[in-house]
Amino acid sequence: MGCAHVPFRAARPAQPLSAEIAAYYDYPARPQEVTRQLTKDTPRVTEWLMQFPLSASGFEPTEPVVEFEWFESKQPGQRPAILFNPILGGDYPLEHGICRYFAARGWHVALVHRKTLKVSPEHPIERLELLLRQAVVRMRQVVDWMEGEGRVDPERLGGFGISMGGMAGVIAAALDPRLKAHVVVLAGGPIATILATSRDPLLAKPRRRYLEHNQMDLATFEGRVRDTVKTDPVALAPYVDPSRMFMVIALADHTIGRTNAIRLWEAVGRPEATFIPLGHYTSYLSLPYLKRASLRFFRKTLGSPSTDELQ
C-alpha cells in the first residue's frame, strides 16, 4: 500500500494542566445508576448496551444520558480496557468490527455513543463548545465506570478514536491521565479550520446552510468558531504525552484535510505515526493493517499477558 511509518523520536514532556483548565472540565462525582441490556453473546465476547445519567448540569437535553456499548472479553482475570470514540455519522458498523477484534483478543472495549455534533443554522456557535465540553464529561464518566468495573485492570486503560472520535481521543489524552495509551486515526485540527475548509458534504452542507441563514462570510465564520471553541485538539495537544500515542494519517484526506492532520500531529509532538496514501473514506482499505498495528501499540504501551497472544 506504500505506507510510511514514522517512529516517535522527540522527547518533549506533556505540560501540566492548569487549575483553570481542570476546573472547566470538572464534574461532580456521583454514584452511577447503570442500566445494562445484553445485546449479543459469543464464545469470546459478551456485548451490552449501558446507560446512566450525565453527572453534570447545564447541558442539553435537560437530563442527558451517557450511553455506550460494552464489549466484554471472556478471557479470565482483570483485563485491559479501551475507551472507543466513533466517527461523526452512521450506525457504528466500522466501530463494531474493531471493538470485536480487540475484545476477542482479551481487551474490554467501551464504545461511547455520539451525540449530534455539527453546526446548525438555528443555533449559535457557542452551542458547539457546549456539546464538545459535554462530550468530555461523558467520556470521563465512562472511564469512571471502567475504573470501578471488577473485571477491568484500572492501570491498563487506553483510548481509540477515528475521525471526529480521533479528535475526541486527543482531547481525552490531554484531560484524563487514567488513559495511558492512545490510538488516533484520521484526525486533525483546529476544529475551526476543518469546519471552514472541509470538502466533505457531511460538513460542507451544514456550513453552507449556516452561512446563508446567518448572512455570514466564511472568514467570519471561521474566526467565530476559533474564538468560541476551547475544546479543540490542537489547543489541548501540549498536554498530551506524545510517547503514549500512535496516529494514522491519510495523505489524500479531503474531509479533515492533509494540512490539518499534519498540524495536529506536530502539535501533539510528532508521536509515532503511519502515513497512508489514501483518502478519508478509502482508508477503510487499510483496516486490516490498522487493527494489527493498533493492537501491537496497545500491547507495547499497556503490557500484554501471555493469554492475549493465544487469540
In this structure, is residue 308 part of a structural domain? no
Contact 55, 28 (CB under 8 A): yes
**107 occurs within a structural domain:** yes
Cα pseudo-dihedral 277, 280, 285, 286, rounded to 10: 70
Q: State the sign of the Cα–Cα–Cα–Cα dihedral 183, 187, 188, 190.
A: negative
The answer to whether position 175 is within a domain reads: yes
Classify residue 130: in a domain, yes or no: yes
Residue 306 belongs to some domain of the structure:
no
User: Is residue 311 in some structural domain?
Assistant: no
CATH classification at residue 237? 3.40.50.1820
Among candidates 191, 163, 311, which has minimal Cα distance to 250? 163
Per DSSP, 18 falls in state: P
**Count of structural domains within the chain:** 1
Is 305 contained in some domain? Answer: no
The series of mean pLDDT values per 10 residues for the chain, 311 residues long, is 81 89 91 91 98 83 84 96 92 95 97 83 89 93 95 97 97 98 98 95 92 95 96 98 97 96 97 97 96 97 63 43
At 311 the pLDDT is 43
* pLDDT at 63 (0 to 100): 61
Reduce the DSSP state of residue 245 to 3 states and report it.
Answer: strand
- By residue range, what is the domain housing residue 251? 4-299
C-alpha cell at 29: 462525582
CA–CA separation, 201 vs 199, rounded Å?
6
Its pTM stands at: 0.94
pLDDT value at position 145?
A: 96
Query: Within a domain: residue 309?
Result: no
Instruction: Kindly list the distances between the CA atom of residue 109 and the CA atoms of 40, 152, 157, 183, 236, in Å, as whole numbers in the listed order.
Output: 14, 10, 10, 13, 25
For residue 88, the model assigns a pLDDT of 85
